Amino acid sequence: MPNLYIDPNYKSPLSLRETEKAIKEIKDYFEGALAWNLNLQRVSAPLFVRKGSGVNDDLNGIERKVTFQIRDDNNSDAEIVFSLAKWKRMVLADYGFNTGEGLYTDMNAIRPDEESLDNLHSLYVDQWDWERVITAQQRNLEFLKNIVRKIYKAVREAESHICKLYPQIKPVLPKEIQFVHTEELLEMYPDLNPRQREDKISEKYGAVFIIGIGGELADGTIHDGRAPDYDDWVTPTGQGKKGLNGDIFLWYPVLKRGFEISSMGIRVDRDAMLKQLEIRNALNRTEFAWHKRLLDGQLPLSIGGGIGQSRLCMFLLQKLHVGEVHSSVWPRDMLDKCAQAGIKLL
């Protein structure tokens, strides 16, 4: 049986047609607020890239990609993107974006090895992927926090907008987002696993940015996996901590758990990428075209991330299941149980 949570008292605050209308309202409003707050321009993005280019996101490096052959290109292999983490940085260079400018785009992905299809996880992933050019002096924790605050401001603005349109939905987000490092979480909750720590800190603050994901912690573990060639999780930030990346978590009363809506960070420079590739035994990636461009100084320093479109819609519309805000394929027993509970998946 899938890891599915059903609240017997749950009832969607919106009908199916109201939901579809509200999804468009959220997406239109939020991407405008995000673009304004971060000075971003919308660009078109690929659904698939050439296999072996090094452009695709590798996530944790073990997940299978959906691949196919291009008949009119000698049956060469292409693969559906996992995200556009590296592609965006390449576009910043190729399109001539300047410091303080950036881009955002609609990213659609298929992740067949998603570990657990449940209320939050789907085979289909849709994000606003964004990236912005920065200077070497801005590669620091305070700049990262400032960008996080601007993103959170856009989230709260979208919440206010949707609550005005649908008064039956009440706002739940706190005024400010808090910051905590994974090392601090380990110290605070040494007997809990990372997922449980995320829940605890999200419930405590309502909105929190968890810093330093991917690097080894004091006890030899990592909080969660991160690829070695986009976010910087190895640069020291003082007091025994390291990492210029993180995730935005919100406390979600509907599911009674922490709710990740964004993974982001300052991207690797030359030294950080080489160090992280060495840690992950992946120095062979330096032969890929994308990695060569970074090592040769042809890609700008940047900050970027992804913000879940369906995740944000689910949160703001106070839905119990992500399938209420996007269409996907679900296990039969999950469909049956949702139907019995009156939960209508798209």
Whole-number Å distance between alpha carbons of 35 and 106: 13
Radius of gyration for the alpha carbons in the chain, expressed in angstroms and rounded: 20
Q: Is 111 a catalytic residue?
A: yes
DSSP class of residue 208 equals E
Q: Is 257 a catalytic residue?
A: no
297 touches 289 (CB < 8 A): no
Cα angle value 163/30/47 (rounded, 5°): 135
Please pick, among 57, 126, 229, 231, the residue that the annotation labels catalytic: 57
Whole-number Å distance between alpha carbons of 283 and 111: 25
And the tokens for 309?
């479109």
Q: Is 332 a catalytic residue?
A: no
Whole-number Å distance between alpha carbons of 118 and 190: 27
Residue spans of alpha helices (H) in the chain: 16-38, 85-94, 141-165, 182-188, 194-205, 270-279, 289-295, 309-316, 332-340
Please pick, among 138, 202, 262, 263, the residue that the annotation labels catalytic: 263
The sign of the torsion formed by the CA atoms of 283, 286, 287, 288 equals positive
Q: Is 247 a catalytic residue?
A: yes
Whole-number Å distance between alpha carbons of 167 and 18: 13
Whole-number Å distance between alpha carbons of 54 and 41: 25
Please pick, among 18, 77, 101, 260, the residue that the annotation labels catalytic: 260
Enumerate residues 6+ apart whose C-beta is below 8 A from 257.
199, 202, 251
Please pick, among 25, 58, 79, 111, the residue that the annotation labels catalytic: 111
Q: Which residues of 131-153 are buried (b: 16+ CB within 10 A; e: fewer)?
A: bbbbeeebbebebbeebbeebbb
Please pick, among 247, 302, 309, 310, the residue that the annotation labels catalytic: 247
Whole-number Å distance between alpha carbons of 2 and 226: 25
- Catalytic site residues? 57, 111, 127, 247, 260, 263
